[in-house]
Amino acid sequence: MTDTALATLREHLLQALENHPGHETRRLFHGRGRCWPGLEQITVDWLSGVVLVMLFREPSPALRPLLMELLETPQWQASGARGLLLQHRYVQGSESEWLAGEPQAQWSIIEDGLRYLLDLGSKQNSGLFLDMRLGRHWVREQAAGKRVLNLFAYTCGFSVAAIAGGAAQVVNLDMARAALSRGRDNHRLNEHDLSRVEFLGHELFKSWGKVRKSGPYDLVIIDPPSFQKGSFALTQDYRKILRRLPELLSEHGTVLACVNDPDIGPDFLIEGMAAEAPQLRFIERLDNPPEFPDISPESGLKALVFQQG
């Protein structure tokens, strides 16, 4: 990480802090999009008062002094930041390091006026992927009166957005029951009626009967990890889901299908859907948040909308 790159990072962070979004959670700097040479392995998030710096490669020794220097700037002090957290993503199992502020094991954030509970310090993934912000907003706008199936639900961010948008029922499926438990917490934070939310802690490919039982669905959301040991590999298993969609959907049902692998473009989904469920037509690709610039549109998050009929 060169002096020039560090100066660029400092400039971006000062500008972002000066115009920070108040209580709303946002990414402040997205080096992973490769738009700034030398900063490809760093991201910085504003988590409703906690600043989270994520490093995906061991940084130069000059980075820490830069971060400590920023703590003393007027922009930082005026931002209302209550903590600075440094996460070493390149070290397997490494706990995050608090550089400033009182350590918080859990932290409540706000996105689009909704609240989510994050884990800070002990887990690499805190509980909400910020690049999907506009996807959650889209679901909230589409959900009124609909039955929604949320596959690979994780901590149920889409489910929270759907219920906030007036969904009649949401079914969340994820094999990680601890993540679904956090999903319940997220719904409770927003004072949602849990009688309209179902949580299935099962492995998808062994649970089609349980999934169909609560259908048909007006909206199906598919947001899988690129790889989940022993249960899912994107390039091998995604098509198995696509071919099941017609039996899960209502007559004019909609699908939001997502891919977060930078090496796989949107054609993977468009061509896969055409081959496995040709009755679903491609409608649009959702925009990614502007705070996630990428040197290649093909590399950013892919969130594609399809409709049956």
What is the set of domains in the chain, with CATH numbers? 3-119 (3.30.750.80), 130-308 (3.40.50.150)
Query: pLDDT value at position 228?
Result: 67
Tokens 């929604």 locate to: 148
DSSP H or E stretch at residue 108: strand 106-111
Mean pLDDT of 147-170: 98
Which stretch of 34-48, 57-71, 237-251 has the lowest confidence by average pLDDT?
A: 57-71
Do 180 and 172 touch, CB atoms closer than 8 A? yes
Q: Give the residue from 211, 198, 283, 263 showing the smallest Cα distance to 240.
A: 211
Mean pLDDT of 168-188: 96
Rounded Cα distance, 42 and 87, in Å: 10
pLDDT at 177 over 90: yes
Question: Which contacts (CB < 8 Å, 24+ apart) does range 104-112 have?
Answer: 104/50, 107/47, 107/48, 107/49, 107/50, 108/48, 108/189, 109/25, 109/47, 109/48, 110/23, 110/24, 110/25, 110/48, 111/24, 111/25, 111/136, 112/24, 112/136, 112/137, 112/140, 112/161
Mean pLDDT of 129-156: 97
What would the pLDDT profile of 243-291 be if each residue is shown by its tens digit?
A: 999 999 999 999 999 999 999 999 999 999 999 999 999 999 999 999 9
Tokens 């950013």 locate to: 300
What would the pLDDT profile of 85-115 be if each residue is shown by its tens digit?
A: 999 988 887 778 898 899 988 999 999 999 9
With bands split at pLDDT 50, 70 and 90, how would you rate the model's confidence at 301?
very high
Query: pLDDT value at position 219?
Result: 98
In degrees and rounded to multiples of 5, residue 207 shows phi and psi of: -135, 25
**In whole numbers, what is the pLDDT of the chain averaged over residues?**
92
Amino acid at 54: M
Rounded Cα distance, 14 and 244, in Å: 48
With bands split at pLDDT 50, 70 and 90, how would you rate the model's confidence at 149?
very high
Query: pLDDT value at position 246?
Result: 95
Amino acid at 219: L
Instruction: Report the residue count for the chain.
Output: 309
**pTM score, two decimals?**
0.93
pLDDT at 142 over 80: yes
With bands split at pLDDT 50, 70 and 90, how would you rate the model's confidence at 129?
very high
pLDDT at 72 over 70: yes
Query: pLDDT value at position 76?
Result: 76
Query: pLDDT value at position 135?
Result: 98
More confident residue, 127 or 68: 127
Mean pLDDT of 144-160: 97
pLDDT at 12 over 70: yes
Rounded Cα distance, 85 and 47, in Å: 10
